Structure 1
C-alpha cells in the first residue's frame, strides 16, 4: 500500500506542484496554495488537504483527480 501511495503522491506532486516528505506512515505535502497529509493505514487511506484561496475554484477538479487516482491505485 505504501508503494501505491508513493506513486500516487509523486503523480499528484507533479500535477499540482507540491513538495512532500514521509513521516512514518504519513506523507505530508505543501505547495503554492495547498497543504495536507495522507496517512496509510492497513485498512484505509486517510487524506486531508487544505486549499488556499486561489485554488478554491479548482476544488472539484482536485477532489475528482484524487478520488480517481485512489480508485485506480487501490482497485
Structure 2
C-alpha cells in the first residue's frame, strides 16, 4: 500500500496532460535526483528512499508513492508540496 495516494482532476487533453507531467518530472529530476521513465501513460520515478508513479488518465491524475524510512518522517510536507504543484499546474 502506498504512503501517498493522490487523485487530482484535470481538464487537459492527453498530450497536454502528459507534457505537464513531464515538466514536473524534469523538476523532480533536477531538484531531487530521481530517475524517471514512461510506461504507456504512467510516469515512474524513483531514487533511494522513494518510488512512485503518476498515472495520466483522461480526466484525472493518480499519484502514488512509497516512502522509505527517512522520507516517511517527512510524509506530510512531501504530500503538501505534491498537492501544491498539482494545483498550480493542473487547475
After TM superposition, the score normalised by the length of structure 1 is 0.91
Q: Which residue of 2 aligns with 1:48?
A: 64
- Residue matched to 1:18: 34
Tell me the TM-score normalised to structure 2 length: 0.77
Structure with greater Cα Rg: 2
Asked if the contact 1:37–1:48 (Cα under 8 Å) also holds between the matched residues in 2, the reply is yes
Alignment match, 1:30: 46
Residues 8-48 of structure 1: per-residue CA shift (max 9 Å, x gap): 12112323321110111001111010001111011000111
Considering fraction of residues, name the structure with more helix. Answer: 1
Displacement after TM superposition at 1:63 (Å): 0.4
* Structure 1 consecutive aligned stretches of length 4 or more whose deviation exceeds 3 Å: none
Structure 1, gaps ≥5 residues long: none
Q: RMSD of the alignment, in Å?
A: 1.0
**Greater relative contact order, per chain length (Cα 8 Å cut-off, separation 6+):** 2
Extract unaligned runs of 5+ from structure 2.
1-16
